[in-house]
Amino acid sequence: MLINNDTIIKDTDERIRQVSEDVELPLSAEDESLLRDMFQYVVDSTDEEKAEKFNLRPAVGISAIQVGVPKKMTAIVVDDTDKNGNPIRYEFMLVNPKIVSSSIQQAYLSAGEGCLSVVSEHEGYVPRSARVKVRAFDLVTNQYIEIRAAGYLAIVLQHELDHFKGILFYDHINAKDPYRQIPGAIEI
């Protein structure tokens, strides 16, 4: 599937609010091909030359509903640092991911969140769980995995899994006081 900034569904299109369904495993050829195309989009989107040439907006994740397919599939590429401060790249092609536990402690991005499906500015803090445990089938490693995520990766996972419920990041922003402090939250 051709995925670029023109084909990605925006929040002005009500399909972005659709609830996604479980995907049958093993993956059909069609589902696998879509998930690989989504992953390639995310990888290419942070390559300046490719982004310019193919009209890609930089992203760390994309979910299938954003290309009009209401199925629980998401591709994520996150560059972060591990607990020793060394650079680490997380790459996932997740099928039917599910949050099985989440911390009470919250976290938020100080710069706010962005989304390929959101063009207009929505400033404010998006409260998320600081840590989540996610179970999924992962096409990168071709096995069932459990991800124990904290920090930025935890936020990206929650953002993408929200898309399965038709939820967008700004739904979580306090409308009256977008920068209201979140008690005990970790700022990222």
Residues annotated as catalytic (active site), given as ranges: 160
Report, in Å, the least distance between residue 60 CB and Co ion.
9
54: enclosing H helix or E strand? helix 48-54
- Of 26-34, 78-86, 107-115, 126-134: span binding Co ion (CB under 5 A): 107-115
Q: How many CA atoms lie within 13 A of 133 on its CB side?
A: 6
> Quick one: 42 or 136, whose CB is closer to Co ion?
42
> Quick one: 7 or 142, whose CB is closer to Co ion?
7
> Quick one: 115 or 132, whose CB is closer to Co ion?
115
Q: Which of 35, 76, 115, 134 binds Co ion (CB under 5 A)?
A: 115
Residue given tokens 């089938």 in the structure block: 137
The C-alpha atoms of residue 188 and residue 58 are separated, in whole angstroms, by: 19
Report, in Å, the least distance between residue 74 CB and Co ion.
9
Token pair in block for residue 91: 């790459």
- Three-state helix/strand/coil letters over 121-177: CCCCCCCEECEEEEEEEECCCCEEEEEEEEHHHHHHHHHHHHHCCCCCHHHHCCCCC
- Of 33-41, 72-80, 90-98, 113-121: span binding Co ion (CB under 5 A): 113-121
Report, in Å, the least distance between residue 72 CB and Co ion.
14
Q: Does the footprint of Co ion cover residue 157 (CB under 5 A)?
A: no
Binding site residues, Co ion, CB under 5 A = 115
